[in-house]
Structure 1
Amino acid sequence: MMKVDHAGEHGAICIYSGQLFMARLFIPGMVNELQEFLAHERRHRAVFQDELQRRSYPRCRSYWLCGIGGLALGLMTGMCGRKAIVATTVAVESVVLKHLAHQLDVLVNIDPHAVAAITSIVAEEQHHHDHSASQIDARDPWFRVLAPMVTAWTEAVIWMGMRS
């Protein structure tokens, strides 16, 4: 689980990096928000990197897939504007929060270090979701088109990572 979480945080860093690059060009009003979210994701990746090192685990085989896919998604949605960025954030963070909640349920009596690592990031992931969700209308075409695709892709990447 920690390997997949680490890879996922790398993917999130790449999503926000791509969006930030485009926001600097097209949506300067989002730069500060994206920089904040990116800083959180970098800390999250470091938390899971520490857990991997503590366990002497290599990174997940899906690490680079998460990075490349995340960068592509970030650049594309960043190019499409604010609505696409917030729709993507809501979709990704919804899946991530569900995944982390499941992990906490499974690990609560098994691995206190993993529980502490996961717990240390949940509030920030929830903030990303809630802040973005407050900017979106669920009837908006960007949300209606992007959310199911991004949700399915995020779930697929997690599923593949859990099996590698």
Structure 2
Amino acid sequence: MLNIVLLEPEIPANTGNIGRTCVATGTRLHLIEPLGFRLNEKSIKRAGMDYWADLDVTTYINLEDFMEKNNHPKCYMATTKAEQNYAQVAYDEDAYIMFGKESAGIPENILVQNKERCIRIPMEGDIRSLNLGNSVAIILYEALRQQDFAGLNEVGHLHENKW
């Protein structure tokens, strides 16, 4: 099972959308405090819709708590400062992929210590970053693609004569 890690997320709607994506993909969500919102806010539940109750989510008091409780996992770290892009790495089936808070990303001292696991989404020019929910979806679906979308429904069904 893949793992998405949000380090100090600030915007409840982003976290709600990411939670919904995690439910749709069978991915665990890890939230590292401080959070910029309360988990019972309407905006999280609205963005996550009725899927929030099905979400495998764990909250941690800080980064050290997360590291300890998950046996010090090696995390890929999404950042605009990375030298390699997200499609240049091979994701294990239980990979952890970390994203920083919307206003500042993952602190640079953490990135420097984990430079070989830093990944980026290519962008044009001076664009600072993509929306956090979009970034999670892009990288998560690459990891899932590498695993042949194991366990996910890949084929939809059109219903003739519905019009």
TM over 0.5: no
TM-score under structure 2 length normalisation? 0.30
| Structure in which a larger fraction of residues adopt strand | 2
Q: Kindly indicate whether structure 1 or structure 2 has the higher relative contact order, using CA contacts under 8 Å at least 6 residues apart.
A: 1
TM-score under structure 1 length normalisation? 0.30
